[in-house]
Amino acid sequence: MIKFLYTNEFIHDYKKIKKSYPSLWNYNGDKWDFSDFKRALKTNPTNIWGVERINQLWKSVFLPVYKAKKFACKSLKSTTKLRLIYTYDKCSETIQFIQFIEIYAKADKKNENKDRIKKLLSWKKTLS
């Protein structure tokens, strides 16, 4: 079973971006514009067309991070203008998590916030 998680920063980004791209939310029901994308993630979270792994991260980041570059949004009439950053954690065969980290418009921002990713996904060593 795959569970979807949303960081507080992602929710903040989403609330900000949905003003410019109203089709991200369908007020007639709880249907996000990326519901088809989430369905595809449930099938194969690491190998979807238009999604690539971000490799230029620090060694302290312990989970793979992915960037969806071909994310469809009806308000844009294009699949290349929004970016969605997420991580996939396969804890076991029965429990898997996908955590959405960031959503942004390519026109507003060139790249993902690597400091946010590092802060969220880094292990901190503690010495006793």
pLDDT for residue 23 = 66
Beta strands in the chain (DSSP E): 2-6, 25-26, 31-32, 51-53, 65-68, 82-90, 96-105
pTM of the model: 0.79
Q: How far apart are CA 85 and CA 98, in angstroms?
A: 10
pLDDT at 78: 56
Averaged pLDDT, 1-13: 89
Q: Summarize the confidence of residues 22-29 as an average pLDDT.
A: 55
Does the structure show a pLDDT above 70 at 74? no
pLDDT, residue 126, reads 39
pLDDT at 79 over 80: no
**CATH homologous superfamily, domain 2-110:** RelE-like (3.30.2310.20)
- Residue reference for tokens 């071909």: 70
> Per-domain residue ranges for the chain?
2-110
Candidates 5, 8, 15, 14; CA nearest to 84 is: 14
98: Cα separation from own chain's centroid: 8
- Amino acid sitting at position 119: K
